[in-house]
């Protein structure tokens, strides 16, 4: 008797992805509200990243029991999702240059610290299961790992804003988030293509 796809998906991976999705969705609302209130490019890009992460993990949760071909398709969609925060950051940075303003550095830094705590915990959880779901779990882990680096950049931007009184540390941090997610999008794309190859081998054996 063949094992059903849903039975093959580890319970630990499902539980981990569900927890991470909930944490990301919750902090999205917090950071987005702060980003709007202080007009921060970096926080806006990072808040969209939280929403994207919640979406990624929700898709992973749904697709874990699917065949390799369908997982590959979802993996390709997730690779595109990783580009969304970068595009949002570019748009917001353009608006910021057109209408310059300096975000509150204390609020910017504290929001970055809160985001760092959430993302570091999520990255820790996902690091233990990143090899259990192919390109899907890899996408979730890479996104969380990127967020840790992005949050450190936001904290540094807050401190540099205090020192310089300039809007540019915030803008540069936002653009850095864009670049970071672009690199991970390619990694997820490669992992998704590997899933296709694995499925072809399974079809050949059938």
- The yes-or-no verdict on residue 190 having pLDDT over 70 is yes
**Which of 99-113, 129-143, 165-179 shows the lowest per-residue confidence on average (mean pLDDT)?**
129-143
Q: Does a structural domain hold residue 2?
A: no
Per-residue pLDDT at 8 = 46
In a domain, 95, yes or no: yes
For 13, 35, 47, 131, 144, the CA distances from 126, given in Å and listed in that order, are 8, 27, 20, 9, 8
**Residue 186 falls inside a structural domain:** yes
Residue 185 lies in a domain: yes
The pLDDT score that the predictor gives to residue 30 is 95
Mean pLDDT along residues 7-11:
61
Read off the pLDDT of each residue in 64-89 and give the average, rounded to a whole number. Answer: 75
The reported pLDDT for the residue numbered 5 is 47
pLDDT at 119 exceeding the cut of 90: yes
Whether 191 shows a pLDDT value over 70: the answer reads no
Q: Is residue 116 part of a domain?
A: yes
Higher pLDDT, 172 or 24: 24
Domain count for the chain, please give it: 1
Give pLDDT tens digits for 99-112. Answer: 777 888 899 999 99
pLDDT at 200 over 60: no
pLDDT on residue 195 = 61
User: Quick check: is 145 in a domain?
Assistant: yes
Question: What pLDDT, on a 0 to 100 scale, did the predictor assign at position 183?
Answer: 72
Q: Is the pLDDT of residue 126 over 80?
A: yes
- Which pLDDT does position 43 carry in this prediction? 87
Question: At residue 171, does pLDDT exceed 50?
Answer: yes
pLDDT averaged over every residue in the chain: 79
pLDDT at residue 29 greater than cutoff 90:
yes
Q: How far apart are CA 50 and CA 85, in angstroms?
A: 9
CA dihedral 118, 161, 99, 172 (to 10 degrees): -60
50 part of a folded domain: yes
Higher pLDDT, 72 or 158: 158
Answer whether residue 86 is part of any domain: yes
pLDDT in tens, 146-168: 788 889 988 998 899 888 888 88
Task: Kindly report the three-state secondary structure assignment for every residue of 133-174.
Answer: CHHHHHHHHHHHHHHHHHHHHHHHHHHHHHHHCCCHHHHHHH
- Mean pLDDT computed over 56-80: 77
Enclosing domain of residue 92: 10-205
Both structure tokens of 133 = 């779901």
For residues 91-100, b (16+ Cβ closer than 10 Å) or e, as one string?
ebbeebeeee
User: In this structure, what CATH number is given to the domain that contains residue 149?
Assistant: 1.20.1510.10
User: Is the confidence at residue 95, as pLDDT, over 50?
Assistant: yes
């Amino acid at each position: 008797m063949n094992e059903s796809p849903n039975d093959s998906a580890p319970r630990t991976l499902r539980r981990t992805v569900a927890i991470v999705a909930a944490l990301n969705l919750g902090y999205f609302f917090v950071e987005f509200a702060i980003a709007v209130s202080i007009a921060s490019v970096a926080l806006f890009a990072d808040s969209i990243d939280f929403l994207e992460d919640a979406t990624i993990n929700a898709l992973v949760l749904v697709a874990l029991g699917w065949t390799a071909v369908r997982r590959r398709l979802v993996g390709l969609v997730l690779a595109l999702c990783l580009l969304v925060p970068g595009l949002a950051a570019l748009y917001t940075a353009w608006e910021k240059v057109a209408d310059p303003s300096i975000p509150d550095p204390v609020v910017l830094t504290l929001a970055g610290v809160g985001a760092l705590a959430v993302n570091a915990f999520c990255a820790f959880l996902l690091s233990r299961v990143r090899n259990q779901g192919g390109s899907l779990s890899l996408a979730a882990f890479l996104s969380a790992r990127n967020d840790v680096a992005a949050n450190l950049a936001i904290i540094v931007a807050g401190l540099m804003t205090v020192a310089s009184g300039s809007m540019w540390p915030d803008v540069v941090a936002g653009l850095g988030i864009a670049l970071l997610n672009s690199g991970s999008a390619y990694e997820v794309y490669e992992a998704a293509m590997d899933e296709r190859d694995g499925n072809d081998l399974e079809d050949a054996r059938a």
